[in-house]
Amino acid sequence: MRRLLTVIGTILVLVGLASAGEMAVITTTDFTSGNLAAIVNGEVTAQADLLPIHSDNWVVAWGGYVYVIERLYGDDIIKLSPQDLSTPIYQKSVGDKANPYDIAFVDEHKAYVSRYGRASVLIVDPATGDSTGSVDLSAYVAYAGTDSAESVPHMSYMAISGGKLYVACQRLKGWNPADTSLVVVVDTETDSVLKAIPLEKKNPVALSLYEGKIYLACVGSYWDPTDGGIEVVDTETDQNLGVLVDETSLGGNVSGVLVASPDKGYALVMTQWPETYVKPFDPRDGSVGDPLPGAKAAVHMAVSSSGRLYVADRSEEAPGIYIYDVSDDRLIAGPVPTGLPPFCVAIVGVPTAVAEEEPLPLAPSLELPFPNPFNSRASIPYVLEREAHVHLAVYDVLGRRVRVLVDGKRARGRYVAHWDGRDDRGRPVASGTYIVKLRAEGRRWTRLLSLVR
Query: Which pLDDT tens digit goes with each residue over 388-421?
Result: 899 999 999 899 999 999 988 888 887 888 899 9
pLDDT tier, 338 (very low <50, low <70, confident <90, very high otherwise)? very high
pTM confidence score:
0.77
**E strand map for 90-154:** 90-93, 100-107, 110-115, 120-124, 131-136
Cα(269)–Cα(219) distance, integer angstroms: 10
Which overall architecture, per CATH, does domain 365-451 show? Sandwich (2.60)
Residue intervals of the chain classified under CATH 2.60.40.4070 are: 365-451
One-letter amino acid of 315: S
Residue 378: predicted pLDDT? 85
Residue 363: predicted pLDDT? 66
What phi and psi, each to the nearest 5 degrees, are found at residue 12? -65, -40
Which range among 13-27, 183-197, 416-430 has the greatest average pLDDT?
Answer: 183-197
Check pLDDT > 60 for residue 303.
yes
Cα(6)–Cα(236) distance, integer angstroms: 52
Write b or e for each residue in 235-258: b if 16 or more Cβ atoms lie within 10 A of its Cβ, otherwise e: beebebeebbbbbebbbbbbbbbb
Ramachandran bin of 410, using left for φ above 0, alpha for ψ from -120 to 50, beta for the remaining angles: beta
Question: Side-chain half-sphere of 339: how many Cα atoms within 13 Å?
Answer: 19
CATH class for the region spanning 2-350: mainly beta
Cα(254)–Cα(217) distance, integer angstroms: 6
Helices and strands: H and E segment counts in the chain: 2, 35
Could you count the other beta carbons within 10 Å of the beta carbon of residue 332? 15
Cα(350)–Cα(63) distance, integer angstroms: 10
